[in-house]
Chains A and B, each alone.
Chain A
Amino acid sequence: MNDLQPNSVLRASGLVKHFGHVVALDGADFELLSGEILAVIGDNGAGKSTLIKALSGALIPDEGEIYLNGALVHFHNPLDARRMGIETVYQDLAVAPALNIMENIFLGREIRRAGILGSLLRMLDKQRMMDDTIRYMSDLKIGIQSMSQPVGTLSGGQRQGVAVARSAAFAQNVVIMDEPTAALGVKESRMVVELIRQVRTRGLPVILISHNMPLVFELADRIHIQRLGRRVAVIRPDEYSMADAVAIMTGAKEVESAH
């Protein structure tokens, strides 16, 4: 294993998580470096989502440690991770369809009005949140006519855009995306690829969980391969082929701990 590198943003070692008899994580290691897009791939049930949930505070691992910028952290809930600058776009997006775009972006982080209207009457500063929303969305070049549209009326790609914009707006350290193109068509997937690039351009490292090999090989700087609840390899897309990656993923090929 590598020692602590100076540019390690998020690192985990020996993560274990049981669900009853199922071992979802079986001593998984993980490392994300600054400024990179790290893809996480693996077969169904390899523990990708569980790994991501542990890193984002959505579940608490039974064993193992997580380090953020070199410091040991304990996340008890998603809010803990968010407070430390880790934002997640969940596989099922976790948006509220009846709420509008602005409300979804600011859900749980609403801005109150200044003065007595905010402190006593607890009124929200909708104008300011709306202005910020328009800025976040146009920063990522997401074209939507009205930010007061319910998210339920958007296309899949646009919804993804809202979820990504929310994460990118508030993330200080890491953006995590679980299967961001799983539910999308070809054209909308291209839009998401652009989104992910935009996020990296802003200097945020991205963890990208995906089944979509061409997407992974196009975007990722490094690829973490998960198998049976562990990290079995970390490869660079320019040194390995997609066929190699799939072979490692399914256990047909072994890699000597090459990171």
Chain B
Amino acid sequence: MSDALVHERPQSGWQRSRAGVAHFLTLPGVGPLLALLIAMLFFATQTDKFFTGRNFSLVVQQVIVVGTLAIGQTLIILTAGIDLSNGMVMALGSVIMASLAVEFGVPPVFAILIGLAITTAFGILNGSLVALVKLPPFIVTLGTLNIAYAITRIYRTTTISNLPTTITFLGNTFTLGETAITYGSVVMLVIYLIAWFILRETSWGRHVYAVGDNPEATRLAGISTTRLLISVYGAAGFIYGIAGLLLIARTQVGDPQAGQTANLDSITAVVLGGTSLFGGRGNVLGTLIGALIVGVFRNGLQLMGIPSMYQVLVTGILVILAVSVDQFSHRGQA
């Protein structure tokens, strides 16, 4: 295997070890992971309420919904797209699930399936407009954001409570050691692992990267980019439906007002996780770390008694930093 390996300039040991460190830092997920660890260390020194199993469980609780939405968002951003509609699509799905089960007596499992079908349909609609009509994802999903929001609010304006336990089941907890963990957080982690596996190990996953990286090359390689994009947006829609279910489980109500800032929050998680807004580069486990970074900052600042607007301020600064890193490394590559 090692014949004809010429052409590379020899490097000194120093150069190589410096290159090694630089390489390590650019490995997917390493930067975000370091940021997360530093943030955790920082907050651990500031308040002793931070570093407890109970508090970590709380952080994860607060991250579940946006963290799940961000999985779908990652898929779409990897294709060099963006989805502004996900929070509203999730809200629509969750209101429909809750309403069907509570007000129309639909068996909870069917209510859930119908909700999932609707969010998936929205994803397929987004994907079709992007891939077939060739409209920019930003505009398409801005449109469907408003459509989903309007449908939800036309359908109803008040929250739905008294949900059957089948629908709120994922909000239940089991204990691990002393810490109570909800089934919902396990569901989120499992979806992350599935997405990570598919993106890494299957053709479909590699094609998601390829189409975001160079759509023309992907087409010329004989891949139907149209079908691929529609399947990506559709899969994202399905994941938003699950996020809707997790939302219901967490809040115990169907809330037509929910999810209004979830689109930007999910994009924040993706970007902080090191996935490039230019498409083709990134890693879904990075997104999990990105979502946790946001969660840890909010939680830590809160424990320190810092007003919530500062938490928003810090998140904004973090996003701009992450996007700058992305822009910078992308320029270096091209």
Contact = CB atoms under 8 A, between A and B. Distances in A.
Interface of A: 58, 77-79, 82, 88, 90, 92-99, 103, 107-110, 112, 121-124, 131, 134, 138, 141-145, 150, 152-153, 158
B11 to A, nearest CB: 11
A134 B1 contact: yes
Contacts, number: 93
Nearest to B1: A134
- Most A-side CB within 10 Å, residue of B210, B213, B217, B281: B217
Nearest to A112: B203
A138 B4 contact: yes
B333 interface: yes
Interface stretch (B31-39, B60-68, B220-228): B220-228
A48 B203 CA distance: 33
20 contacts: A78-B219, A78-B220, A96-B218, A97-B280, A99-B210, A103-B210, A107-B206, A107-B210, A107-B221, A107-B223, A108-B207, A109-B222, A121-B201, A124-B201, A124-B202, A138-B1, A144-B5, A144-B7, A150-B333, A152-B334
Given A96-B217, A110-B206, A79 B222 contact: yes
Nearest to A88: B220
A134 B3 CA distance: 10
B8 A145 contact: yes
Given A96-B280, A98-B280, A123-B202, A78 B222 contact: yes
Interface string B136-163: 0000000000000000000000000000
Given A58-B220, A78-B219, A143-B4, A98 B209 contact: yes
Contacts of B280: 96-99
Contacts of B209: 96, 98-99
B7 A124 contact: no
A138 B1 CA distance: 8
A132 to B, nearest CB: 11
A109 B214 CA distance: 17
B: contact size bracket: 20 to 34
Interface of B: 1, 3-8, 201-204, 206-207, 209-210, 213-214, 216-223, 280-281, 333-334
A121 B202 CA distance: 8
Contact of A122 (B3, B202, B218): B202
Given A122-B204, A145-B5, A96 B219 contact: no
B140 to A, nearest CB: 24
A124 B198 CA distance: 10
Contact of B4 (A103, A122, A142): A142
B202 to A, nearest CB: 5
Nearest to A166: B221
Contact of B213 (A99, A108, A123, A144): A99
Nearest to B210: A96
Contacts of B218: 96, 107-108
Given A78-B222, A124-B201, A94 B214 contact: yes
Contacts of A77: 222
Contact of A124 (B203, B223, B333): B203
Which 8 pairs show the lowest CB-CB distances between chains A and B? A79-B222, A108-B221, A94-B217, A98-B280, A96-B213, A107-B221, A98-B213, A143-B6
B277 to A, nearest CB: 13
B203 A122 contact: yes
Contact of A108 (B216, B222, B333): B222
Contacts of A92: 216
A250 B139 CA distance: 47
B332 to A, nearest CB: 10
Contacts of A95: 214, 217
B199 to A, nearest CB: 11
A108 B219 CA distance: 9
A78 to B, nearest CB: 5
B220 A123 contact: no
Contacts of B204: 122
B1 A98 contact: no
Given A94-B217, A98-B213, A103 B222 contact: no
A122 B202 CA distance: 6
Nearest to A150: B333
A171 B214 CA distance: 22
B213 to A, nearest CB: 4
B224 to A, nearest CB: 9
Nearest to A95: B217
Contacts of A123: 201-202
A143 B4 CA distance: 5
Contacts of A78: 219-222
Contact of B214 (A97, A108, A142, A143): A97
A94 B221 contact: yes
Contacts of A143: 4-8
Contact of B217 (A107, A141, A150, A152): A107
A230 B207 CA distance: 38
